Amino acid sequence: MNTKSYFFQSFAIVALAFVAFIGFKQILPNKIFSDSKLDSKNVLIDSLLLESVAKDSLSSEDDSISESNGKQKIVYDKTGGIEFPSETFDNYKGYQYLISFYEKLYQLEKNPQSKVRIAYYGDSMTDGDLIVQDVRVNYQERFGGNGVGFVSITSESAASRASVKSLYSKNWKMQSYLNVKRPVSPFGVNGHVFFANNRSNATWVQYEAGTNKFSTTLDNPTLFYGRSSKSGKVNFIIGKDTLKKSLVSNSLVNTLKVTSGSIKAFKASFVQSDSIPIYGFNFDNGSGVHVDNFSQRGNSGLPISMFDASVMQAFNNTLKYDLVILHYGTNVLNYGTKNYSWYEKGMTKVVNKIKESFPGVSILIISTADKSTKYAQEMKTDSAVVPLMNAQKKYALETESGFVNLYTLMGGDGSMVKWVDESPAKANKDYTHFNQRGAKAIGKLLYDQLNKGYEDYKVLRQKRDVNPNKRRAAGRVDSVSVKTDSVNE
């Protein structure tokens, strides 16, 4: 054996590896992973985000907004005879694009038996119903409504959610839009599809009403499930009673009411139904405001682009959404880039998919919150926060969506450090996520901004209605466009 030859071969490999490392180091981002320690247990990062980052995020281009562009004037065309005051990019809220949602709230205020529904899509910020439950309570306190809305079969945060309690068997099979591109059956409105693996053991889920205000009963519990060539059965156990029902899966989306009225708890046990896609249960009393929490840890929002529009329309035929909220950003900050043009393009496709899936719905974009990272031993606002927030604002404006700048709403630069350090604290030591106290405060801030737009809408509507010409114009809804003019300084 030629030991000398092997030694030189090994030395050459090490030398080449070192040279390659030095070369790659010049083109890699300064920070690929967050400086803070992350608990990877049960954390998913969606595949579309990883693909987009791998393809585009090595660009060093800074996608910031210049001062002149930030002061660019946005002038709205009238919608149904109503025109909100002009804005600049810096203070953009886009109330003009929430008019259809505000009109539904107005009709609900006149007729308390009518209904308004909100779909709230988010990431770990809204895990366990945080933030969303507070938005829900604020709306239900003012406009009425009882129930937590749509709830998935299984959930990573089931044990920590106070607005509804759930237990489930371990033999459910689940496919998520975070890591599956071609599911066996289309994803549901919650981005998941479940299958009861009940050939050997019973597959079940059990719900109990929560302790939160307006969610102390399960109202009109209704199962949502998909199409299958086979039928199945489900047994609903309510107290000492068992209701045996069949699953007839002829349509894209099917519903089965457990019982009418309100109950405190029930268990659903699925029998010979392993081929039927199961989506979840809806709980609402049929009037007032209802808010569905579709949170998913690790989600960037991009997977929504994989929704089957026809399936979503089938869900919407029953649920009838008036507002879709997209609250993302947490999982997009840790990839060493300040150029978020790739994310802006991807989320523009997502908003267009929402418009196709839920025709006529208003859309609200909520930006990233402040997040702190350690720089020279001091916790400061991460340098990627403002560029990402601006990219989110840009696609909100481009897609004619309302916008909440959560970064400035919570205090702007350095605010996350303050929320962590104040006593009692309102955010966790990861300098990213809010605790329950902070989530409640954020939920109130979000509601207050939305409600400010609604109060302004009512004033504008009243002015329109007392003017005969404007009242005639309100008979139709004009297409909305934006005119931008430079502000004279």
Among the residue ranges 24-28, 365-369, 420-424, the one predicted with the least confidence is 24-28
Residue 486 binned pLDDT confidence (cut-offs 50, 70, 90): very low
* Residue 20 lies inside a defined structural domain of this protein: no
* Residue 16 lies inside a defined structural domain of this protein: no
Phi and psi at 295, nearest 5°, equal -85, 155
* Residue 56 lies inside a defined structural domain of this protein: yes
Domain region containing 257: 150-285
Flag whether pLDDT at 27 surpasses 50.
Answer: no
| Cα–Cα distance for residue pair 262/240, rounded to 1 Å | 16
pTM for this entry: 0.86
* Residue 419 lies inside a defined structural domain of this protein: yes
Flag whether pLDDT at 201 surpasses 60.
Answer: yes
Flag whether pLDDT at 318 surpasses 70.
Answer: yes
Residues 461 and 481 in one domain: yes
Other residues' Cβ atoms within 10 Å of the Cβ of residue 243 = 13
Residue 336 confidence (pLDDT): 72
Residue 461 confidence (pLDDT): 97
Share of the chain above pLDDT 70, in %: 82
* Residue 216 lies inside a defined structural domain of this protein: yes
Residues 335 and 452 in one domain: yes
Last residue of a domain, one of 232, 262, 285: 285
Flag whether pLDDT at 313 surpasses 60.
Answer: yes
Residues 443 and 320 in one domain: yes
- 10 Å CB burial of residue 19 (0-12, 13-18, 19+) is exposed
Average pLDDT, the chain: 87
Among the residue ranges 51-55, 107-111, 143-147, 265-269, the one predicted with the least confidence is 51-55
* Residue 193 lies inside a defined structural domain of this protein: yes
Residue 159 binned pLDDT confidence (cut-offs 50, 70, 90): confident
**Secondary structure (DSSP) of 49-117:** HHHHHHHHTT-----PPPHHHHT-EEEEPPBTTB-PPPEESTT---GGGGHHHHHHHHHHHH-TTSEEE
Share of the chain above pLDDT 90, in %: 76
Length of the chain: 489
Residues 336 and 209 in one domain: no
Residue 196 confidence (pLDDT): 95
Flag whether pLDDT at 306 surpasses 80.
Answer: yes
Residues 355 and 455 in one domain: yes
Residues 457 and 332 in one domain: yes
Residues 135 and 189 in one domain: no
Among the residue ranges 349-353, 412-416, 484-488, the one predicted with the least confidence is 484-488
Residue 5 confidence (pLDDT): 53
Residue-wise pLDDT tens digits, 409-468: 999 999 999 999 999 999 999 999 999 999 999 999 999 999 999 999 999 999 999 975
Q: Tell me, what CATH number does 271's domain have?
A: 2.60.120.1360
Residues 300 and 234 in one domain: no
Residues 129 and 230 in one domain: no
Decide if 175 contacts 187 (C-beta within 8 A): yes
- In Å, how far are 127, 209, 306, 344, 350 from 396, measured between CA atoms? 23, 36, 20, 9, 11
Question: Helix, strand, or coil here: 336?
Answer: coil
Residue 37 binned pLDDT confidence (cut-offs 50, 70, 90): very low
Span 353-370, mean pLDDT? 98
Residues 125 and 162 in one domain: no
Cis peptide before 424 (omega within 30 of 0): yes
Last residue of a domain, one of 241, 266, 285: 285
Last residue of a domain, one of 251, 285, 319: 285
Residue 475 confidence (pLDDT): 52
Both tokens of residue 209? 């009403």
Among the residue ranges 22-26, 235-239, 337-341, 480-484, the one predicted with the least confidence is 22-26
Residue 46 confidence (pLDDT): 65
* Residue 317 lies inside a defined structural domain of this protein: yes
Decide if 204 contacts 266 (C-beta within 8 A): no
Span 117-125, mean pLDDT? 97
Flag whether pLDDT at 471 surpasses 90.
Answer: no
Span 72-87, mean pLDDT? 95
Among the residue ranges 56-60, 299-303, 480-484, the one predicted with the least confidence is 480-484
- 10 Å CB burial of residue 469 (0-12, 13-18, 19+) is exposed
Flag whether pLDDT at 387 surpasses 60.
Answer: yes
Flag whether pLDDT at 23 surpasses 50.
Answer: no
| Cα–Cα distance for residue pair 280/190, rounded to 1 Å | 9
Residues 334 and 483 in one domain: yes
Residue 144 confidence (pLDDT): 98
Flag whether pLDDT at 16 surpasses 80.
Answer: no
Among the residue ranges 100-114, 141-155, 304-318, 473-487, the one predicted with the least confidence is 473-487
Flag whether pLDDT at 102 surpasses 80.
Answer: yes
Please state the domain count of the chain: 2
Question: What residues contact residue 60 under an 8 Å CB cut-off, 6+ apart?
Answer: 337, 339
Residues 277 and 388 in one domain: no
